[in-house]
Amino acid sequence: MQNPLIHVVQHLAPGGLEVMALELARAQAAQRPTLVLSLEGDADRALAAWPRLAQHREQLLFLGKRPGLDAALPARLVALFRRLKPWAVHTHHVGPLLYAGPAARLAGVKRRLHTEHDAWHLADAKRRAVVKLALRLARPVLVADAPHVAEAVREAIGVVPRVVLNGVDTLRFAPGDKAAARATLGLPAGRVILGVAARLEPVKGVDIAIAALALLRGDALLAVAGDGGQAAALQQQAQALGVADRVRFLGLVQDMAGFYQALDGYCLPSRNEGLPLALLEAQATGLGVVAARVGGVPAACDPHSAWLVATEDPVALALGMQSLLANRGGDPRGFVLAHASLAAAAGAYLKLAEEAA
């Protein structure tokens, strides 16, 4: 492969950052060869755990990083970059920045980009020091994926990043046949269905959504796409609140466009977020959303159709759900087309890389 653009991530497991890197690589491949390099893991295990990766298989590289600090990894990355001669190296989050950023500079890669996808980790003094050191060593073009991330980076480390909003594929995520989508997922045709797509971990607040459902008037269902360490606890919570028959745990859903097409509205109850792709995907499919007002959520929402509520508040979320289902106005798809398309994000990063040479 001649002079590829290489996106570097810590691992390839289901998550917004990882999806964004894969989607950027796919979109940019029309103009330049692209690869996605995972510091951790190996291809067989990653593909088995996340079947979606199969469609990107020819673009993936895995380095099998050892747990903890891996002192040998920078030298391996320098050797890899010297062999592949990347046109650009684009790191995502602090681990890839620390290892691959300086390695790219040592290997003579002129175009180096780094994107911060959230800023919560910069509250820790040690993490701030690591990021500052890595930025001094790598000297990349620094980018934030949302205005609030840019402001947090500026306050924490005194550098003002460029801002490139996350984007989604508006051809893939588009309105479709609701009945067919529900049939594929085994969801009932005649019910009101709200959805949430998330890793089943505390930060994503799925427990708050289940608690809100128990307060919601009517017999609406909550469809949950995702898996994680809280799966059993969330099922027990639904049982304890008497809504087990109204919560459908779908596990990892490979066709996320079909998942959104099956819904009447989308819910994001997170306790912390960057700029969430799921909100953009849902709105691109034409859904109104109700979401906790955290992180970059306000920047990701159509102001005319979204309902923003306080986090950690099931009552507020239930009221937001009820309002969302009763007031379907605005143009959520139009908002995404205008502000957060994948094509715009991919092009903006290519332009920044060109300017960095």
Per-residue pLDDT reduced to its tens digit, 86-135:
999 999 999 999 999 999 999 999 999 999 988 778 888 888 998 999 99
Strand boundaries in 117-254, DSSP class E = 141-144, 162-163, 193-197, 221-225, 247-251
What does DSSP say about strands 5-9 and 34-38: parallel, antiparallel, or unpaired? parallel
pLDDT in tens, 246-263: 999 999 998 999 999 999
Domain identity same for 35 and 14: yes
Domain identity same for 49 and 128: yes
Mean pLDDT over 70-88 rounds to 96
pLDDT at 311 (0 to 100): 95
Domain identity same for 122 and 250: no
Q: What is the mean pLDDT of the chain?
A: 94
Domain identity same for 266 and 302: yes
Domain identity same for 30 and 103: yes
Domain identity same for 20 and 155: yes
pLDDT in tens, 280-303: 999 999 999 999 999 889 989 999
Confirm whether 191 is domain-assigned: yes
pLDDT above 90 (res 330): no
Dihedral sign computed on CA atoms, order 15, 21, 24, 26: negative
pLDDT in tens, 29-48: 999 999 999 999 999 999 99
pLDDT at 182 (0 to 100): 98
CATH number at residue 90: 3.40.50.2000
pLDDT at 14 (0 to 100): 85
CA dist., res. 306 & res. 288, Å (int):
6
pLDDT above 70 (res 75): yes
Confirm whether 224 is domain-assigned: yes
Confidence of residue 225 (pLDDT cuts 50, 70, 90): very high
Confirm whether 173 is domain-assigned: no
pTM, to two decimals: 0.82
Output DSSP code: residue 317: H
Confirm whether 62 is domain-assigned: yes
Confidence of residue 328 (pLDDT cuts 50, 70, 90): low
Domain identity same for 349 and 334: no
CA dist., res. 201 & res. 211, Å (int):
15
pLDDT at 104 (0 to 100): 98
Confirm whether 255 is domain-assigned: yes
Choose between 13 and 205: higher pLDDT. Answer: 205
Domain identity same for 26 and 149: yes
Domain identity same for 26 and 154: yes
Q: Return the C-alpha torsion angle 307, 310, 316, 318, nearest 10.
A: 60
Domain identity same for 205 and 79: no
**Number of domains into which the chain is organized:** 2
Confirm whether 345 is domain-assigned: yes
pLDDT in tens, 123-179: 888 889 989 999 999 999 999 998 889 999 999 999 999 999 999 999 999 999 999
pLDDT above 70 (res 310): yes
CA dist., res. 31 & res. 349, Å (int):
12
Confirm whether 172 is domain-assigned: no
Domain identity same for 200 and 160: no
Q: Which domain holds residue 146?
A: 5-167+341-356
CA dist., res. 284 & res. 278, Å (int):
10
pLDDT at 333 (0 to 100): 96
pLDDT above 90 (res 185): yes
Domain identity same for 183 and 59: no
**Helix, coil or strand: residue 74:** helix
pLDDT at 186 (0 to 100): 97
